[in-house]
A and B are shown apart, each in its own frame.
Chain A
Amino acid sequence: MFIFKNADEGNINFIRKLLFFHWPLAILILATGAFGILMLYSVAGGSMLPWAEPQLIRFIVGFGGMIIIGFIHIDFWRSLTIPAYIGSILLLIAVMFYGEGAGAQRWIDLKVIRLQPSEIMKVTLIMALTLYYSLIPISRKSSPLWLIPPLALIFLPTFLVFSQPDLGTSLLILISGFAVMFLAGVNIWYFIVGAFAGAGLVSAVFLSRNTSWQFLTDYQMGRIDVYLNPSLDPLGAGYHITQSKIALGSGGLSGRGFMQGTQSQLDFLPEKHTDFIFTTLAEEFGYFGSLGLLIIYALMVIFCLLSAAKNQYKFGALLTSGLAVMFFLYFFINMAMVMGLAPVVGVPLPLISWGGSAMLVLLGAFGLIQSAHVHQPRG
């Protein structure tokens, strides 16, 4: 069954696992999480409540979970792939009927935690694709017939999330999926042609405007319009981007000081504890702070990619690099959005924004990366 050099069959003991653990990555995660709690404390006007304290508790739980997942063998997680994928698809369907959320149905209230199935979906999709490409004959990976299953795996959740409607997350799922296919070595021409087709689709979306076959809702079209020209609606939808840029810019080189950001402290910033938390950070800690965070994120991605590149076990390598792409997309889209480079699509800043599902899922994903790193074949 195992076609590559197998991962060690659990022979390594606890001490060795501890030694193989990717500690630099874990420390960066810890630093980012701490940064996030600090910011939540600041945007609450110097208070642990309502955000910093619950976030701290969740982070501790999630970080513990990450270590536990990391210590469990990667093949155990591999064997869970198919039920996990099917489970998250079912949850996505369930959310359509029982979900709640402002304007869009995104959450399921499980009393203990408000679950956002689309967040879990991102990880399970990557796992499923990884499993697929670790199973099929290498020579078939680029043949058209063999492209159908992965595309089906990608488009099903993308469609479900898109219809919630949650444009940001559905794009994230779509791109992560394609990234795994790319990493698996699918012929590069598919992607080039696909990119052109995508561009064609985007123009079709714009052309469909005000016709009976309009793809996006007016709400989504409006957001894109305002992104293209924020001055269209400076007090309405464009307000977010305008105020966000003011906050970022006024931070300057060294920032206005912890808890001294007028934009966030005086509530000019929208969603300052969730999607726009980066603006508070940039306002209060300036260019040093924002560039610092970007470097931390970049290092985390580099660590993951290096680990994947060295990993001899294909499932582990592909999974690690796929999850790294997903993590990258999180912060890239969020930052590009608050800096006015991308439309406001509702993607949280990873490990920092207030919100349980996204953070727990991310920590879980890092647990999988750790597991793949710890349990890789070592010569």
Chain B
Amino acid sequence: MRKLFSEQNIEKVRKSVSRRIILLGLGKMTLIGILAWRMRKLQIEDSEKYRLQAEENRINMRLIPPERGLILDTRRKELAVNIGNYKLVITREETSNPKETLVKLSKLIDLDDKEIEKILSNISKISPFVPITIAEHLSWESFSKVVLNLPALPGISPEMGLTRHYKKPTSIAHVVGYVGPVSKKDLEKFDNPDPVLQIPKFQIGKTGVERELEETLRGKASLSKVEVNATGRIIRETERISGFSGATLQLTLDNELQEYAYQRLSGLCASSVLMEVNSGKIMSLSSVPTFDPNQFVLGISQKYWDSLLNNKLRPLSNKAVSGAYPPASTLKMAVALSALESGILSKNETFECPGHFDLGDQRFHCWKKKGGHGKMDLKQAIAQSCDVYFWELARKVGIERIGNTAKSLGLGTKFDLPLSSITQGLMPTKSWKKKKFDQPWRVGDTLNAAVGQGFTLASPLQLAVMTSRIASGKAIEPQLIKSIDGINKIQKEFADLNYNKSSLEIIRNGMFLSVNNAKGTAYKSRIMDEETAMAGKTGTSQVRRISMIERETGVLKNEDLPWEKRDHAIFVAYAPFKNPKYAVAIIIEHGGSGAQAAAPIGRDILLNAFYYNRKSIS
């Protein structure tokens, strides 16, 4: 043992300890070096990234929704406005017993146990200082009842927001459309959605003008930058960027005329368009049956929604612009114009109508089968709507010329209006048929097209534009927006259609006779007053094929047919004849004959426009 403790040994042990200390020290310094390197990486190299993240942590953007632009009629009468949305919110940290508060509240407003459970589970998930909505769109009565009892309802606070409201909702529903809470699907449609759309239940346009001019009406949200702490509580506002309200939209629509058209059509499945001949301003655009857009704003009930969807009269569809119908005899003006303009038909050329037209072994029947119309000139052919006359013309003119003329009059054209699902209609051509059915064009197709049957389709809007163009000779475009925030948006000048005045004159006279000649199809609906006398054209579009057997035994009358097999009644007109001011087009689905069903309504809509204008002037 002694030897172990010799001086030499002690020295050796000491040295070994020192060596180990140095070894360990070096290890430590290496590790400290790693720490220093890591600090450098975090605090110098990646500093910018982390600084940004710290800012993102700290700064919250709060959006203050903008007020939606108003929609007015042509006389600045309000159609769509924003009204107070009375809301109640609950803040958990302000009440010791949220359940008790809600139960008390349920005695004042409509709030069942299920809803209470849902609210309670919602508030337990979020920070205690974040208020959540219990009820909105409350009536003033129940809202004031709650406000009166606030001292007994800890945690509840009243709030007022804004919500869309439509005046005269049913008559304007299809034009103005409606707003609803923004959905996930809506958000997907935007490439770079405005952050305001992220606000829960933010209202955006779903159909009609509300949708098509959404960005104009929406405005821009104010942005409040707030500093928040880790739990999200606001410490202070650091910056505010103010936005602006949506633009006020003035439509060309006249609320009074709109309301009248709606009333006059009610009970039918029909649509009408009334426009100013020379300016293209749409004065009324009506589609019935209709719906209540306010229901959509408040959150539509399943029952109401089902009733709209299951109604075979399609109340949600704006038939005036999206309905495509065979234009029937109203297309005859286009056939006549193309014949006159191409020089195939001279002014006074006549044809004999024996009541039918033979093409090879196929026989086409004029609507007046018994004895036919006899000897016809063009004016009378329009007035009496003689099919045989137009078949003769069509065969000579050919489908291409008819099609071009019809297009120049606005058929087969999709007009640029801020409305939903505007149809292009259809003016068939040879190449179209080849492409669509891989079949050659037949003369029979031309004959069908000439009387607006077969493939040809048009909407009431297109027919109204056609009538305006015939009456004015100009390429009138329909207008719906009068001004945005007071800035006029009406197009003033329209190009000339470059048709001979004399050709147009003959057509116009034919239309005049159609209403004012005793033999004319719409004679019963004429306007007696010479000042406002109208020119028009009826149309009856067949929706079924009349079989040979039926022809033998006698064609069934519309009244004897089930509703969906009856003819569509069509009428187009303008007035006054001498100095055209208004044009109207109306289609009544399965309404029967154009002369009997549509013409009187067309006349009334025109007369009402005159009457109302005179009244408002004086």
By the criterion CB–CB under 8 Å, are A183 and B39 in contact?
A: no
Contact partner of B39 among A184, A247, A282, A328, CB < 8 A? A282
Chain-A contact segment, one of B16-24, B117-125, B513-521: B16-24
Answer whether A298 and B32 are a contact pair too, CB < 8 Å, given A249-B47, A253-B43, A262-B57. Answer: yes
B553 at the binding interface (Cβ < 8 Å): no
Could you give, for residues 14-37 of chain B, a 1 whenever the CB lies within 8 Å of some chain A CB and a 0 otherwise? 101110111011001101101110
Residue of B10, B21, B47, B57 touching A309 (CB-CB under 8 A):
B21
Is the pair A250, B47 in contact by a Cβ cutoff of 8 Å?
A: yes
Complex Cα distance, B47 from A139, in Å, reads 54
> Does A355 count as interface, using CB distance less than 8 angstroms?
no
**Chain B at the A interface: mostly helix, strand, loop or mixed?**
helix
Query: Which residue of chain B is the closest to A3 with respect to CB atoms?
Result: B5
Q: State whether the Cβ of A312 lies closer than 8 Å to any Cβ in chain B.
A: yes
> In chain B, residues 514-544, which have Cβ atoms closer than 8 Å to a Cβ of chain A?
none
Q: Known: A266-B228, A321-B21, A332-B32. Is A252-B51 also a contact (CB below 8 A)?
A: yes
The chain B residue with its CB closest to the CB of A263 is: B54
Assess whether A248 is in contact with B18, with CB atoms less than 8 Å apart.
no
Q: Report which of A266, A268, A339 forms a contact with B38, defined as CB distance below 8 A.
A: A339
Q: Which of B18, B42, B57 has the most CB of A within 10 A?
A: B42
Nearest B residue to A297, CB-CB:
B32
Question: Could you tell me the distance in whole angstroms from the C-beta of B132 to the nearest C-beta in chain A?
Answer: 20
Which of B85-93, B229-237, B577-585 is near enough to bind chain A? B229-237
Chain A residue, CB-CB nearest to B25: A305
User: Which of B418-466 touch A at CB < 8 Å?
Assistant: none
* Nearest chain A CB to B1 CB, angstrom units: 8
Q: Assuming A4-B10, A301-B28, A305-B25, is B4 touching A183 (CB within 8 A)? A: no
- The reply to whether B227 and A183 contact each other, CB–CB distance below 8 Å, is no
Alpha-carbon distance between A301 and B235 when the two chains are bound, in angstroms: 43
Decide yes or no whether B263 CB sits under 8 A from chain A: no
A314: Cβ under 8 A from any B Cβ? yes
| Chain B: CB-nearest residue to A317 | B17
Q: Using Cβ atoms and an 8 Å threshold, which residues of chain A touch B39?
A: 248, 282, 287, 290-291, 294, 339
A336 within 8 A of B: yes
B197 to chain A, nearest CB (A): 25
Q: A374 at interface (Cβ–Cβ under 8 A)?
A: no
CB closest residue in chain A, given B49: A249
Give how many A-B residue pairs fall within 8 Å (CB-CB). Answer: 141
For B38, list chain A residues within 8 Å (CB).
336, 339, 341
Looking at the complex, which one of B17, B32, B50 makes contact with A248 (CB distance below 8 Å)?
Answer: B50
Q: In the complex where A262-B54, A309-B21 touch, is A341 in contact with B34 (Cβ < 8 A)?
A: yes
Contact of B22 among A294, A309, A318 (CB under 8 A): A309
The reply to whether A291 and B50 form a contact with Cβ atoms under 8 Å apart is: no
| Cβ contacts under 8 Å, B13 to chain A | 138, 185, 314
The reply on A182 being an interface residue by CB < 8 A is yes
Best-surrounded residue of B16, B53, B228, B235 (most CB of chain A within 10 A): B53
Closest to B38 in A: A339
Please tell me if the beta carbons of B25 and A252 are within 8 angstroms of each other in the complex: no
Q: Is the CB of B17 within 8 A of A314?
A: yes
A246 sits at the interface (CB 8 A): yes
- B349 CB–A CB distance under 8 Å: no
Q: Say yes or no: is A127 at the interface (Cβ < 8 Å to chain B).
A: no
Q: Which residues of B contact A305 (CB under 8 A)?
A: 21-22, 24-25
Query: Is there contact, CB below 8 Å, between A268 and B20?
Result: no
CB contact list, B92-108 vs A, under 8 A: none
Contacts of A301 in B (CB 8 A): 25, 28, 32
**Which chain A residues (1-54) contact chain B, with CB distance < 8 Å?**
3-4
A302 in contact (CB, < 8 A): yes
A266 contacts B20, C-beta separation under 8 Å? no
- Assess the A182–B20 pair: CB atoms within 8 A: yes
Interface size of B in residues (CB-CB distance below 8 Å): 44
Inside 8 A of B47's CB, which chain A residues have their CB?
249-253
Mask of B30-72 contacts with A, CB within 8 angstroms, 1/0: 0110111011101110110111011101100000000000000
Assess whether A230 is interfacial by the CB under 8 Å rule. Answer: no
B9 at the interface (CB under 8 A from A): yes
Contact B44 A253 (CB under 8 A): yes
A266 touches B58 (CB 8 A): yes
Q: Is A126 part of the binding interface, using a Cβ–Cβ cutoff of 8 Å?
A: no
Which of chain A's residues have a CB closer than 8 A to the CB of B28?
A: 301, 325, 328, 332
Q: Which residues of B contact A101 (CB under 8 A)?
A: none
Contact assessment for A249 and B42 in the assembled complex, using a CB-CB cutoff below 8 Å: yes
Question: Does A137 lie at the interface of the complex (its beta carbon under 8 Å from any beta carbon of B)?
Answer: yes
CB <8 Å contact, A245 and B10? no
What is the chain B residue whose CB lies nearest that of A283?
B54
| Set B21, B32, B43: member contacting A249, Cβ < 8 A | B43
Q: Which residue of A lies closest to B59 (CB)?
A: A262
| Most chain B CB neighbours (cut-off 10 Å) among A245, A266, A332 | A266
Chain A residues with CB below 8 A from B230, complex form: 266-268
How far is it, in angstroms, between the C-alpha of A317 and the C-alpha of B20 when the chains are bound? 11
The distance in angstroms between the C-alpha atoms of A139 and B3, with both chains bound, is 11
Indicate if the CB atoms of B43 and A248 lie closer than 8 Å. Answer: yes
CA distance A315 to B10 in the complex (A): 13
A335 contacts partner chain B, Cβ-Cβ < 8 Å:
yes
Contacts of A184 in B (CB 8 A): 17, 20
A185 and B55 alpha carbons, distance in the complex (Å): 53
- Which residues 304-352 of A sit at the B interface, judged by CB distance below 8 A? 305, 308-309, 312, 314, 317-318, 321, 325, 328, 332, 335-336, 339, 341
| Residue of chain B at shortest CB distance from A250 | B54
Complex interface: chain A residues within 8 A of B55 (CB): 262
Please report the C-alpha to C-alpha distance between residue A336 and residue B41 in the assembled complex, in whole angstroms. Answer: 13
The closest CB in chain A to the CB of B28 belongs to A328
* C-alpha gap A266/B34 in the complex (Å): 30
Tell me the bound Cα distance from A250 to B59 in angstroms. 15
A245→B34 CA distance, assembly (Å) = 16
Q: Whose C-beta in chain B lies nearest to the C-beta of A4?
A: B10
Q: Find chain B residues with CB under 8 A from A138 CB.
A: 4, 9, 13
Q: Once the chains are docked, how many angstroms separate the CA of A174 from the CA of B53?
A: 38
Interface 0/1 of B216-238, CB less than 8 Å to A: 00000000000111110001000
Alpha-carbon separation in the docked complex, A115 to B54 (Å): 37
Residues of A within 8 A of B50 (CB): 245-250
Q: Which residues of A contact B235 (CB under 8 A)?
A: 266
The closest CB in chain B to the CB of A268 belongs to: B230
A332 and chain B: residue at smallest CB distance: B31
Chain B residues with CB under 8 Å of A309's CB are: 18, 21-22
Known contacts A266-B230, A267-B231, A339-B38; decide if A185 and B43 are in contact (CB<8 Å): no
Q: Which A residues are in CB contact (< 8 Å) with B17?
A: 183-185, 314, 317-318, 321
* Sample of 27 A–B contacts (CB below 8 Å): A4-B10, A179-B24, A183-B20, A183-B24, A184-B20, A185-B16, A185-B17, A243-B57, A247-B54, A249-B51, A253-B47, A262-B54, A262-B55, A262-B58, A266-B57, A266-B235, A290-B39, A301-B28, A305-B25, A309-B18, A309-B21, A318-B17, A328-B31, A332-B32, A336-B34, A339-B42, A341-B35
B residues lining the A interface (CB < 8 Å): 1, 4-5, 9-10, 13-14, 16-18, 20-22, 24-25, 28-29, 31-32, 34-36, 38-40, 42-44, 46-47, 49-51, 53-55, 57-58, 227-231, 235
Can you name 6 extra interface pairs (CB under 8 A) apart from A4-B10, A250-B51?
A: A245-B50, A250-B50, A251-B43, A267-B230, A305-B21, A309-B22
